[in-house]
């Protein structure tokens, strides 16, 4: 990769990549609590990301969150590419806010477009599209208020979570529901706390995996598959926010070797990635049903990028791909889509 463009005199200039992100420490300083900012990035993540991009030969410019991005765009600032990992603060379309701004001002960026970011954050909408494509996913119902509980015609055990949250927010030991009558107090609590509907789906009792995918369209590929085993002492073995925050201590991650199981999981994950039209990279969560068949659970088109704490970089590491190579793959993918020499 040659990260240069020509200036008017024919001399090479380094491409500049802007970094758009939500920083945990910024929001904590504004009074938000730890759970509210759980999806946002640490100072360590941004420093590692910037170092990796600079190590690839690019110039970098730290932009910050979507509000900061909007101000910079209005003031006339532009970049050759924006490495966008902003999660947004409010609404089920919050992950689409920065991509919308960048498209409005004609600036290219990494990862998925506004439609995909909004669609995939709403887990029910994503499941509808995936199911339409014939990809297996647990049956579900949406609970917007308590009258919707009358329509729950699923066989326990069930699993309940906020429909548009990430990083395990709203998921605890209570999320696995053994009796239908236990749904009411749980849904009441989740709706009150997160001000959004609750997704109630059949609980899949089998093994749990997360799949890293790189690339675009037909050229997209599975980077690797990682199995997740949570200690039963933390939220009854559920991959909750608490488990993710303490993953080094309570979660055992294992590389899935290639074979028939790998192939079946990869087929489901890659099928979901493609039908949802994700770009550059994403991470797909898969769980086995009682018959050992892989099912789509959800997809993250803006995967966490902490070098050692986030799942996608962990998958890359287990596959022998260094962090800088992972970031380089994402940048090259975006530049290739945009037709930018880099």
Give CA–CA dist 331/338, Å, rounded: 11
Q: Which strands make up the sheet holding 208-214, listed edge to edge?
A: 251-255, 221-230, 208-214, 281-288, 294-300
Would you tell me which CATH number, out of the four given (3.30.420, 3.30.1490, 1.10.287, 3.40.50), belongs to the domain 140-202? Answer: 3.30.1490
* pLDDT value, residue 232: 83
Q: Report how far apart, in Å, the C-alpha atoms of 235 and of each of 159, 176, 239, 285, 325 are.
A: 13, 10, 8, 19, 35
pTM: 0.94
- How high is the pLDDT of residue 258? 97
Q: What is the pLDDT of residue 4?
A: 60
| 88 vs 281: CA distance, rounded Å | 19
What pLDDT, in 10s, does the model give residues 268-298? Answer: 999 999 999 999 999 999 999 999 999 999 9
3 state DSSP class of 195? coil
Q: At what angle do helices 97-104 and 66-74 cross, to 10 degrees?
A: 10
The whole-number pLDDT of residue 19 equals 98
Question: Cβ–Cβ contacts within 10 Å for residue 34, how many?
Answer: 11
Terminus-to-terminus CA distance in the chain, angstroms?
6
Flag whether pLDDT at 13 surpasses 90. no
Tokens of 332: 């090259």
Judge whether residue 137 has pLDDT over 60.
yes
**Domain 140-202 in the same topology as domain 4-111:** no
Range scoring the smallest mean pLDDT among 38-42, 54-58, 281-285, 337-341: 337-341
Over the stretch 78-106, which tens digit does the pLDDT of each residue have?
999 999 999 999 999 999 999 999 999 99
Given the candidates 3.90.230.10, 3.30.470.20, 3.50.50.60, 3.40.1260.10, the CATH classification of the domain at 120-136+205-301 is 3.30.470.20
Higher pLDDT, 243 or 225: 225
pLDDT at 243: 86
Give how far the C-alpha of residue 282 lies from the chain's centroid of Cα atoms, to the nearest Å.
6
Q: How far apart are CA 185 and CA 193, in angstroms?
A: 12
Q: What is the DSSP letter of 178?
A: S
CATH topology of domain 4-111: Rossmann fold (3.40.50)
Q: What is the mean pLDDT of residues 68-75?
A: 98
Over residues 216-235, the mean pLDDT reads 93
- In 3D, which of 211, 209, 210, 213 has the Cα closest to residue 281? 213
- The mean pLDDT value for 242-255 works out to 89
Please answer whether residues 200 and 138 qualify as being in contact, where contact means their C-beta atoms are separated by less than 8 angstroms.
no
The C-alpha atoms of residue 242 and residue 169 are separated, in whole angstroms, by 9
As a whole number, mean pLDDT of residues 155-164 equals 95
Average pLDDT over residues 4-30: 82
CA 171 to CA 74: how far, in whole Å? 39
Q: Which two tokens stand for residue 130?
A: 């995936």
Domain locations along the chain = 4-111, 120-136+205-301, 140-202
Give the pLDDT confidence score for residue 203 in this predicted structure.
96
- What does the pLDDT read at residue 9? 52
Q: Mean pLDDT, to the nearest integer, of 195-216? A: 97
How much is the pLDDT for 167? 84
Cβ atoms of 212 and 283 within 8 Å: the answer is: yes
Contact predicate 20/305, CB 8 Å:
no
Do the Cβ atoms of 223 and 316 come closer than 8 Å? yes
Task: Report the chain's mean pLDDT, rounded to a whole number.
Answer: 94
Question: To the nearest whole percent, how much of the chain has pLDDT over 90?
Answer: 86
Sign of the torsion formed by the C-alpha atoms of 245, 246, 250 and 252: positive
Give yes or no for a contact between 135 and 169, defined as CB atoms under 8 angstroms apart.
no
Residues 205-223 have a mean pLDDT of 97
pLDDT value of residue 12: 59
């Amino acid at each position: 990769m040659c990260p240069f463009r020509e200036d008017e005199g024919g001399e090479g200039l380094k491409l500049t990549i802007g970094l758009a992100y939500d920083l945990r420490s910024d929001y904590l300083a504004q009074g938000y609590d730890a759970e509210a900012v759980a999806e946002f990035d640490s100072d360590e993540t941004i420093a590692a990301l910037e170092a990796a991009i600079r190590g690839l030969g690019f110039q970098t410019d730290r932009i910050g969150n979507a509000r900061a991005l909007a101000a910079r765009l209005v003031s006339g600032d532009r970049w050759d590419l924006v490495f966008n990992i902003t999660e947004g603060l409010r609404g089920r379309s919050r992950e689409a806010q920065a991509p919308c701004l960048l498209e409005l001002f004609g600036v290219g960026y990494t990862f998925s477009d506004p439609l995909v970011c909004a669609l995939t954050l709403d887990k029910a909408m994503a499941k509808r599209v995936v199911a339409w494509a014939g990809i297996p996913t647990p049956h579900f119902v949406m609970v917007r208020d308590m009258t919707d509980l009358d329509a729950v015609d699923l066989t326990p055990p069930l699993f309940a979570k906020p429909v548009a949250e990430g990083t395990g927010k709203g998921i605890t030991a209570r999320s696995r529901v053994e009796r239908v009558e236990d749904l009411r107090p749980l849904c009441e609590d989740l709706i009150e706390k997160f001000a959004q509907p609750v997704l109630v789906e059949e609980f899949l009792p089998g093994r749990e995996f997360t799949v890293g995918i790189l690339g675009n369209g037909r050229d997209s590929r599975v980077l690797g598959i990682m199995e997740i085993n949570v200690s039963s002492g933390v939220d009854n073995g559920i991959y909750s926010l608490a488990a993710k925050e303490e993953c080094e201590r309570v979660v055992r991650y294992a590389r899935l070797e290639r074979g028939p199981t790998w192939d079946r999981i990869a087929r489901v994950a890659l099928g979901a990635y493609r039908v949802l039209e994700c770009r550059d990279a994403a991470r797909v969560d898969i769980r086995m049903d009682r018959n050992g068949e892989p099912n789509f659970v959800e997809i993250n088109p803006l995967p966490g990028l902490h070098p050692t704490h986030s799942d996608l970089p962990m998958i890359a590491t287990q596959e022998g791909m260094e962090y800088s190579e992972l970031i380089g793959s994402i940048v090259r993918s975006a530049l290739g889509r945009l037709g930018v020499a880099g």
